Amino acid sequence: MNVRWPYPALDDATLFGGQMTERPDPPVPSGSMLVSGTVQGRIPLPKYEPKPDPESLDVWGFPDSGFEVTDKGVVKARGHRYEISGSELPDLLPWMRGVIEVDLDAFDVHESQYPGVIPAPVVNDGFRHAIADFLDSDQIDDDDQERLRRGHGHTQEEMYAIKYGALPRIPDLIVFPGDDLEIAKLVQAAIDNDVVLVPYGGGTNVTEALRCDPDETRMIVAVDMLRMDQVLWIDPTNLEAGIQAGAVGRHLTDRLAEFGFTMGHEPDSLEFSTLGGWIATHASGMKKNRYGNIEDLITDVTVVTRDGVISRNNVGPRESIGADPRRFILGSEGNLGIITQATVKIFPLPEVQKYQAILFPTFADGVAFMYDLTRSGNWPASARLVDNLQFQLSQTLKAKSSGLSRIKSHVEKLFVTRFKGFKVDQMVACTLVFEGSEEQVTAQEATVKRLSDLHKGMAAGSDNGKRGYQLTYGIAYIRDFIMRKYILAESFETSMPWDKVIPLVDRVKARITEEHHKRNLPGVPFITARVTQIYDTGAVVYFYFAFYHKGVENPSEVYADIERAARDEILNAGGSLSHHHGIGHLRKDFLPRVFSNAALGWNRQLKNAVDPGNNFGTGSQGITEPVPTLRGTIDDAPATAGDQTTPQTEGNR
């Protein structure tokens, strides 16, 4: 296949800098063909095999990509996949030293002890004999490092544990089912032999959703959905596709693009996360303004449970059919069954795709721009506003310029700071992606220009906009690089009403600084925020927090304590527990501050009713634990509807 992901653009550069073929014309039928009855419905697609592209077991991403320090003490981006790949970044380490106020030694490395001590597997002979009747030998794996990988996601606690400590409990076996029937047989075998099943997609979660209960004495089996990765059919007339739950984002995007379509769902983890994971975590993507969140994109879902298969026939664009069991699956995090496939909306590839970057004097100016953008009724596919510190970071991730490029960069900086009056320690940046027809994109650009001028913005060019958007994928590797430099880092997000955006960001930054100071930790904390999604009723803010920990006892636990304090401050300031990451084990203790005891009880009753043996025993959300009766819960101080308001999904807005 020649088309590169996420979809064919109109220029020559792909997402990661290669060559792109022309955009294929989507086979969308005309209205006259619809009336005459000559259009096709569902078109089955032949099986395809994505090109093998192994992922790292102990760090984020691909083994050939990442960051390293050269013999000269300069950071270099390894590999070839991303726009940043191959670049030397001479400003990164000096900038980091200044920000965290620690004299980082470029050659001081915290060597990983991966894989460390791996727990011995619990063996259930009855289950092993049962699955041997319907699974081939290559569908069963008990390799220690592969088991370890299925036992964690990508929180800093988990990644620190596999490199410098140990996970006390991991899956005992991995199975790779190939179809729904094999999954149904797996579920029955698990029930018959009292085994725990944990679905595994891309392993990209940051909620400890895959964390195994250290007190679980039963055999734990990771159900890896890797082989159920097909786009089964497309329907060009009704703009739908049937996709298996194990389809990885980069592959399903490529496959749909072959036929001129896109699903439009692009989370930051697109390269590695799966459709099933998106549904199970109630995910959101960077272009939700145009395409919607995952709940807007899913029209049907198939789930294997202990009582059989949850599925439907004759699904319409909207139905009023009473309580719909399929809706329970969104955000279920593996607690109720195994998602096997879904019917999703698809869209013709956009006729036009453009990028833009805008500089604003302050974060407040940028937030005001984003707010007015939601009132315009003419939204870009994506709009993200980074604060000053994150803007500075993006500048350090540029390759060193020379000659005319250096002169040009110097002149541009002088213009921004001297003639426009922007201050280097206050200015922020907004990156935008426009998609649609020529007419739609032109209208979006005009709206952005008008509102940008209103809020003292200055256009920074399409190249910077594209670079800022695509940097998301390359920057994900930084966390593992700086972990080797004794720096722990993590991201967390929240949604809140518009009037709480600026005060919430200020309060969270202040709380983290206070908690860092109370513990007498080295240097100062790194805290940055971006407005990453916008709604009519509010916005989503994404935080990055890091600190230097050399000489600190139990640094991962210290980090976790400070992050919990930050989450406490988020809730106190009117933010949500999570916008799109989910709950897992990491945030379950905060649920009583979100739901009433009655609501928590309903979830537990549902779990007990549909899985009385807890064979889908992920333990996420604390769903098998007693309903907490803690002070500070919603039941202790019933709030008004206004006090509890956070942005909700509003269709595509």
**Residue 210 DSSP code:** T
Q: Are 399 and 77 in contact (CB under 8 A)?
A: no
Separation of alpha carbons 204 and 209, rounded Å:
10
Q: Which amino acid is at 361?
A: P
44 CB-contact burial (10 Å; exposed 0-12 / middle 13-18 / buried 19+): exposed
Distance in angstroms (rounded) separating the CA atoms of residues 149 and 159: 10
Cα(109)–Cα(528) distance, rounded to whole angstroms?
25
Terminal Cα distance for the chain, rounded: 34
CA distance 188 to 195: 10
Kindly list the catalytic residues.
542
Give the pair of three-digit tokens for residue 124: 């259930």
Q: Which amino acid is at 499?
A: D
Give residue 211's identity as a one-letter amino acid code: R
Pairing of strands 173-175, 196-200: unpaired
Asked if 39 and 237 touch (Cβ cutoff 8 Å), the reply is: yes
Say how far apart CA 223 and CA 196 lie, in whole Å: 10
Identify whether the C-beta of residue 160 lies closer than 8 Å to the C-beta of residue 556.
yes
Question: How distant, in Å, are the alpha carbons of 125, 140, 344, 446, 611 from that of 626?
Answer: 32, 35, 36, 55, 16
**586: amino acid identity, one letter:** L
The C-alpha atoms of residue 124 and residue 582 are separated, in whole angstroms, by 32
Tell me the C-alpha to C-alpha distance, in Å, between residue 552 and each of 281, 429, 487.
Answer: 34, 35, 11
DSSP string, 231-258: EEEEETTTTEEEEETT-BHHHHHHHHHH
Report helix, strand or coil for 644.
helix
For residues 82 and 270, is the Cβ–Cβ distance under 8 A? no
For strand 220-224 and strand 196-200, is the pairing parallel, antiparallel, or unpaired? parallel
- 603 Cβ contact list (under 8 Å, min separation 6): 595, 621, 623
DSSP run (H or E) holding 355: strand 352-360
Crossing angle of helices 156-164 and 555-572, rounded to 10°? 180
Complete DSSP assignment for 359-411: EESSHHHHHHHHHHHHHHT---SEEEEE-HHHHHHHHHTSPPP-HHHHHHHHH
List the structure tokens of 388. 């000053």
**CA-to-CA distance for 289 and 535, rounded, in angstroms?**
8
Confirm if 100 and 547 have CB atoms less than 8 A apart. yes
Both tokens assigned to 313: 């026939």
Instruction: Count CB atoms within 10 A of the CB of residue 88.
Output: 14
